[in-house]
Amino acid sequence: MNAKNAMQLIVDHQDMPALNYAVNYAAAGLNMAPGSHEFKVQCLYVLNNIMNWRTTKTSTVTKEQIHEARLALKQEGGVKVK
């Protein structure tokens, strides 16, 4: 998964709890050029706003997808991944 896929996943699941502002940041990021400074900063905004994103009993997104999305946004945003 890349950062654009992660943002699309967030927009697609915008009804999930804990995605309030992240949805708007992700939607804006989808219109930015990958690799640009603005896109990298946007990835950090999205990442900061999905810290409490978890699966629920009724969600169709898996915890693996959430983990992959976070990882993709960290890598694109320049956060060192352990």
Given a cut of 90, whether residue 56 has pLDDT beyond it is no
Domain assignment present for 73: yes
Domain extent for 33: 3-77
pLDDT in tens, 18-37: 898 999 999 999 999 999 99
pTM of the model: 0.92
Domain assignment present for 24: yes
Confidence of residue 59 (pLDDT cuts 50, 70, 90): confident
When divided into structural domains, the chain yields a total of: 1
pLDDT at 18: 84
pLDDT at 58: 84
pLDDT at 81: 74
Query: Count of CB atoms within 10 A of residue 66's CB?
Result: 20
